[in-house]
Structure 1
Amino acid sequence: MSTFDLNSINSALSDSGRPISGVDFSGKSLKLNSADDAQPIVDAINGCADLQYLTLTGNTLGVSAAEAIAKALEHHPELKIARFSDMFTGRMKTEIPPALAALGDGMIKAGARLSVLDLSDNAFGPIGVEGLAKLLQSDVCSELEELRLNNNGLGITGGRLLAKALAARPRKLKIFIAGRNRLENDGATALANVFKNMGTLEELAMPQNGIYHVGISALSAACRQNRRLARLNLNDNTVGAKGAQAIAEALPNLKNLKSINFGDCLLKSKGASALAKAFKENSILLESLDLSHNEIGRQACMEVVDAITALPDSSERLSRVVLAGNSLGDAGNKKTMRDKLGASAELSDGEGSDDEYVTDSEEDGSNSEDDDDDDQAGRESEDSATEDAQHLDTSADFAKNITLNTSGVEEVETDVGRFLSQPTLDNLDRLGPNAHDVIDAHLQSIKDPASLIQAYVEATFSVAGLSEQSPLASDVANKLFPILVQRAGEQHAAAWILANTVLSALGLIKSEDKTRRIRWALGPCYNSLSRVIDAPYFPNALRDTIRFFASSKKNTIPFAECLCR
């Protein structure tokens, strides 16, 4: 097996005298589609009497393989560490939620109590959090200390859903990692509210999330309540002067803070000066500080250096101070900084380079501190169509609130156009016995792939909604489903669009477009789909996804039961 992180495993296992054992398949690049493909992992799990850790990083799991592994996990309540990062490469997003849910169910049935859960580098988006929610809210994660969700494409919606799942019960997380997730202000604020009630964080890393001072201020308020915080990484967010001031105000509560990474955070001189003042006044014993590429003037840079070297032990304590990419002044200024910082100084980007970085003004402290730079109201607080998916509607009257986009259909005054706008039996009868061919010919003129798929889904369910009222409607619906799959398959990267549109049409997730309402009866649509969902032409991933979401809704949508296994 590949090597594993011994230090992480040791720290996660409460019994220091316990021999470390587990299964590690990291980096094998295995493509596991079926239960047979997963058999080597299943055998290794079954053969491990004391499965304290399971690492599957760097392989790719399909739903069937995940279910087989989950079955093996049901017999291992001793599991403490689950490293499932980079585990769905090449998979459609529709496969990930049911695969995650299966693995979670296996651990839930086992009664495991995880200390570490790593799901980084799995681009499952907001919809993936739905597959995780049950696990995160279960007893399996009741003792979780380390949660890594780096580079998952969560977006604002995913951040909110994650915060909701974590807030379901008291938490004692020590490490939370969620970089490169497009959380923005709303997602960061939702998570900050969870952290505020936690009080146990020792490391918080949320780099590259498009967070501005509103979200930074919320995180700063949360940090105040986490007095053990030792490492804070907000690299490549727009902290700005306002955010820096909020963090400076939190520093009196953070006496254990050892490492700060605010590189590429547009601090400018004003923000850097606020931090320097707080470092000095609160005797913060930093060991590592990264303020690189922040458009800081030379005087403010010197203030930072003076503040962190004020105490006599700084030369022994400081291991890394990065100020590259700022205006450091002339060679004399840099020499002074190097003398004070010693070996910890990193004042230029290239090793051995002494390049001069200048800001807009050579005058110390005269950098433009335009508050508009970090007051990006237009980037805040709204879910947008760029989100990967919308979360499930848990209300009982879900269908009343769901609308679908028909912008791609040119509803001219023809028999087909009349049926698409008014899906009645009379209008369907006008299309004749070959209505499926007539509808297909009409819709093929749509050029935009998303609009074309949307139109075919709407047309198919408009007919399916009438299938229990007429043999003709039932026959046409049966013939439209394979046409729908075929036309969607002809479009580039259309699998996710098709899944999202079908789930919306069935009322299983919210639609992104709120301009129109569902115009078909859902009960007959479910029954009609259940008759074709196991057909050979029906994509396996789409089938699994529909059944996964139907299963989660069967208590609120009685007719969803017909699609469940």
Structure 2
Amino acid sequence: MTSFDLNSITSALTDTNKPETGVDFSGKSLKLDTEKDAQPIIDAINACPNLQYLTLTGNTLGVAAAQAIAKALEHHPELKIARFSDMFTGRMKTEIPPALSALGDGMIAAGARLTVLELSDNAFGPIGVEGLAKLLQSDVCSQLQELRLNNNGLGITGGRLLAKALAANPRKLRVFIAGRNRLENDGATALARVFQTMGTLEEIAMPQNGIYHVGVSALSEAFKHNPNLSCLNLNDNTIGSKGAEAIATALPKLKNLKSINFGDCLLKSKGAKALAKAFKDNSMLLESLDLSHNEIGREACMEVVEAITALPDSADRLSRVVLAGNSLGGASNKKTMKEKLGPSAELSDGEGSDEEYVSGSEEEETDGEEESDENSEDSATEDAQHMDTIVNMGKEINLDDTGVEEVKTDVGIFLESPTLENLTKLGPKAADVIDAHLQAIKDPTDLITAYVEATFCVSGLSEESNLAMDIAQELYPIMLKRAGQQHAAAWLLANTMLRGLGLIKSENKEYRIRWKTSGCYRVLALAVNRPNFPTPLRDTLRFFIASRLSTLTDKNIVEKHPELYRS
């Protein structure tokens, strides 16, 4: 392990007078698979005596290249800014965690202290957070001010894992960006609990996350504990009237709030009125407000305008007010709004009419909206409702199935109940029989899942039968071949194997492991070093097995096969 002089590290961390210098390879579209591919970046890092920033945006890194770059980073404790967005295009999802983990280990070994970590536009999903967890929990992120994770496909599980990593050692972030991640209520609520402990947030952007009023209410409680919040973006979530009312209760604590983006949040008139009242009662000094496309009626729109222009300095302060896509009323209403808002107004003439969102009086709309909120918020999407209709239609059709008996093949029976007796019934050419049966599957995801599960069903019996061991070894090259013929097969195959080995959790609650994983590890140990076994898949499996070794149920078995967790 490389050793460092403590004095030089301390000096690097405390000297704030040095000019910002670093290495920028952004937008070069480099495909970096090996250490040799990464050599230009390594040379640039080694040649930079004061590496304040490293930008690798717009290139694509494999595991070996990331490990080589990480070694170069071990000599730069002065690193402050890591811009790693859009850095894994064309890579397997499962390649990303070990690559991220390697880069993190390099910074940890250096004793760096990041202030900015940018990882947006990397579709690494929940397992990507696994590769980040160690870095986020380390002292490298102890002074982190900006964390940008936009468009990472985190999902609910990723949101929870991220919250857990951040909560392990409470951070004092100023900026948190995590749009387009489908965090939903559970992910948002988990993060909200972490935000409460921070108290330092100045900007929160979580647009397009499928968050409803439950998650918004949890976030609103967190906002109250972050009085320096100046920029809030929840665009394209379903805040609704209930969420708006929750946010309104937080606004008295947010005297520094300057910018709000609640566009496309289904606020409707009731939600807009709740916000307008809070703006006015708390003399909010807003500079930018976006409430576009929220089905807000004309009277509620006017209340919003009057609330944000109540203070005498509003004409000079307001830079942008967007109400387009709501019912703004006729020409007279729009003229009044424009006069009050001045150049900041974005009203889109002709986009809203008197009748567009208002039926009868404004009062009728308001009275009926509570019921509408109850029915619309946290309800199924149009597509889901449409599917329900189709299902219900199907229920009305009764087919006479008298005398009809479902035909089950020997392979189907074995896969459903993987016993040695059922395997023996497939005969001496069981691998070929299983292969012929599974090739009838057309959907690529279903096909890969079926081949992996069939291989594991047989592998699980390998500890009690040499026949099962032989068949499982025959199935591995067949599985790899069939999977390799499918589009986007690499990450599907790795993800399915990790799930089947119990190394990652399935988001499908009905998923169950019906084979002995100890036998699967035993067979995998034989297969993993064969020439036909893909290197990226081998590296990914080793990374996850090594990181979970101490908690594995099959730890005693796996430890007998170091080829499963050591390079």
On the 8 A contact 1:239/1:374 being kept in 2, the answer is no
On the 8 A contact 1:207/1:237 being kept in 2, the answer is yes
On the 8 A contact 2:326/2:351 being kept in 1, the answer is no
Find 1:486's aligned residue among 481, 486, 489: 481
CA distance in 2, matches of 1:421, 1:354: 61
Instruction: Check if 1:533 corresponds to 2:534.
Output: no
**Could you tell which deviates more after superposition, 235-244 or 363-372?**
363-372
Q: Deviations over 1:441-473 (max 9, x none)?
A: 233333443333333223322333343554443
What does residue 398 of structure 1 align with? none
What does residue 558 of structure 2 align with? 560
CA distance in 2, matches of 1:310, 1:459: 69
The Cα of 1:162 is off from its aligned counterpart by 0.8
Amino acid at match of 1:73: L
Find 1:375's aligned residue among 354, 374, 377: 377
Q: Deviations over 1:6-56 (max 9, x none)?
A: xxxxxxx98653211111111111111111111111111111111111111
The Cα of 1:70 is off from its aligned counterpart by 1.0
Amino acid at match of 2:558: A
Shift of the 534–334 alpha-carbon distance from structure 1 to 2, 3 Å rule, reads same
**Could you tell which deviates more after superposition, 20-29 or 362-371?**
362-371
Q: Deviations over 1:68-110 (max 9, x none)?
A: 1111111111111111111111112111111111111111111
Amino acid at match of 1:87: M
Amino acid at match of 2:373: D
- Residue correspondence of structure 1 range 495-510 to structure 2 within 5 A: 495-510=490-505
The Cα of 1:135 is off from its aligned counterpart by 1.0
The Cα of 1:523 is off from its aligned counterpart by 3.0
The Cα of 1:210 is off from its aligned counterpart by 1.0
What does residue 412 of structure 1 align with? 408
On the 8 A contact 1:70/1:106 being kept in 2, the answer is yes
**Could you tell which deviates more after superposition, 268-277 or 439-448?**
439-448
**Could you tell which deviates more after superposition, 270-279 or 439-448?**
439-448
- Residue correspondence of structure 1 range 351-390 to structure 2 within 5 A: 353=349, 355-358=351-354, 359-361=356-358, 363-367=361-365, 368-369=368-369, 370-372=372-374, 374-376=376-378
CA distance in 1, matches of 2:74, 2:28: 24
On the 8 A contact 2:159/2:188 being kept in 1, the answer is yes
Amino acid at match of 2:468: A
Instruction: Check if 1:73 corresponds to 2:69.
Output: no
On the 8 A contact 2:262/2:290 being kept in 1, the answer is yes
The Cα of 1:278 is off from its aligned counterpart by 1.0
Q: Deviations over 1:385-439 (max 9, x none)?
A: xxxxxxxxxxxxxxxxxxxxxxxxx99353x455445545555455444332233
CA distance in 2, matches of 1:262, 1:485: 47
Amino acid at match of 2:448: I
Q: Deviations over 1:167-186 (max 9, x none)?
A: 11121110001111111111
CA distance in 2, matches of 1:281, 1:513: 47
Q: Deviations over 1:500-538 (max 9, x none)?
A: 221122221224455575444333322321222122322
Find 2:518's aligned residue among 495, 508, 523: 523
CA distance in 2, matches of 1:345, 1:14: 46
Structure ranking higher in helix proportion: 2
The Cα of 1:270 is off from its aligned counterpart by 1.4
What does residue 398 of structure 2 align with? none
CA distance in 1, matches of 2:522, 2:46: 40
- Flag structure 2 segments of 5+ consecutive residues without an equivalent: 1-12, 382-405
CA distance in 1, matches of 2:128, 2:378: 28
Instruction: Check if 1:467 corresponds to 2:462.
Output: yes
Question: Percent identical across equivalent pairs?
Answer: 72
What does residue 162 of structure 1 align with? 162
What does residue 150 of structure 1 align with? 150
Amino acid at match of 1:509: I
**Could you tell which deviates more after superposition, 167-176 or 442-451?**
442-451
What does residue 172 of structure 1 align with? 172
Shift of the 48–411 alpha-carbon distance from structure 1 to 2, 3 Å rule, reads farther
Amino acid at match of 2:408: V
CA distance in 1, matches of 2:181, 2:198: 22
Amino acid at match of 2:168: A
What does residue 33 of structure 2 align with? 33
Shift of the 304–372 alpha-carbon distance from structure 1 to 2, 3 Å rule, reads same
CA distance in 2, matches of 1:310, 1:14: 47
On the 8 A contact 2:33/2:61 being kept in 1, the answer is yes
Q: Deviations over 1:131-186 (max 9, x none)?
A: 11111111111111111111111111111111111111121110001111111111
RMSD: 2.2
Shift of the 518–16 alpha-carbon distance from structure 1 to 2, 3 Å rule, reads closer
On the 8 A contact 1:55/1:82 being kept in 2, the answer is yes
- Residue correspondence of structure 1 range 304-315 to structure 2 within 5 A: 304-315=304-315
The alignment partner of 1:54 has SS state of: strand
Amino acid at match of 1:444: Q
Find 1:458's aligned residue among 453, 462, 474: 453
Shift of the 357–539 alpha-carbon distance from structure 1 to 2, 3 Å rule, reads farther
Corresponding residue pairs, total: 518
- Residue correspondence of structure 1 range 167-316 to structure 2 within 5 A: 167-316=167-316
Amino acid at match of 2:345: A
Instruction: Check if 1:550 corresponds to 2:548.
Output: no
